[in-house]
Structure 1
Amino acid sequence: MNTKPFPKVAAPSSWDATRKLELGLIHIAKAFFEKRDGMTREDYEGVIQSVTRTRKTSAALLTHAERNLLLQHFKAQGFKVAAKAGAKPLISPQHKKLRAMWYSLAEAGAVERPASAIACDQAVEAWAKRQAHGKVGQIDALRFADSNQLHKLIEEMKAWCVRVKARID
């Protein structure tokens, strides 16, 4: 049995994004078991109660730890997380630099280490969107950022690396 934990969102200030990701995975797992095993709503609510050892019957009411328990249970029962079809890591030199610096931040303990390049890109994108209110300008998705915006993001992340004493090459 594979006991690797589910991927976590790397940015510590993105608890809402983490919650949305976990709830999304739970609902995907629910649909998987509905299709595979004929799980009913009552079965699903019973699983939540038994796994979390609470009276809660909705994933939306669960704490982060309880959501992770539920996801681990679903994983042990055969649910697997697959990357989105067509999801590919960003490949421009500036995107690669941002990804490399994010991993340096992870090594310094400033963020959680992403499970894959795609997870890293998602974490960097979430961070970049939060920077949009500053000097960078509005960014809907990192792949749409222009060269000037990417340069500003790199400089912002370099400053962060310096503050936390992360290695930057």
Structure 2
Amino acid sequence: MANHIAAIHVLKSKLQLSDSDYRVLIKGITKKESTKDMSDSERQRVRGHMQALAERMGVVKAGQRRPAARSFAAAKSEASPKERKVWALWNQLGRDGVLRNTSATALNAWVERTVHVSALRFANSAQLDTLIEALKVWQQRGAADA
């Protein structure tokens, strides 16, 4: 717990975020205004999001982060309801024969092309809504082609 909080505050400093900007950022990700009020998985999401921002801005080298290895099942169990909806729609497209590859890697590549974040877990609420709607349209298109 303390490691995530410390890392978040280091990233806040490296990103040169004001306290109000920082609060808006974390509230947008977790709906909470303090890291102390967050669960460990929420802190991990905030840390990952801020790390990705720092890498894109060039204030942290891309190879510096060492995320804990998570299994596919663990990643899905820690996901928000919207993330689980994306997973459900993604897997349904695979079952319908619209997608050949329903792996996490394939999903994250599609997420990056669609909403420009490196992985589903870094997507904010609005981006998740965009992904869900895009998958629904894809599903309708696939049903029309069948």
Q: Do these two structures clear the TM 0.5 threshold for a shared fold by scoring above it?
A: no
Q: Larger Rg: 1 or 2?
A: 1
**Higher RCO structure (Cα 8 Å, ≥6 apart):** 1
Q: TM-score range by the shorter chain?
A: 0.3 to 0.5
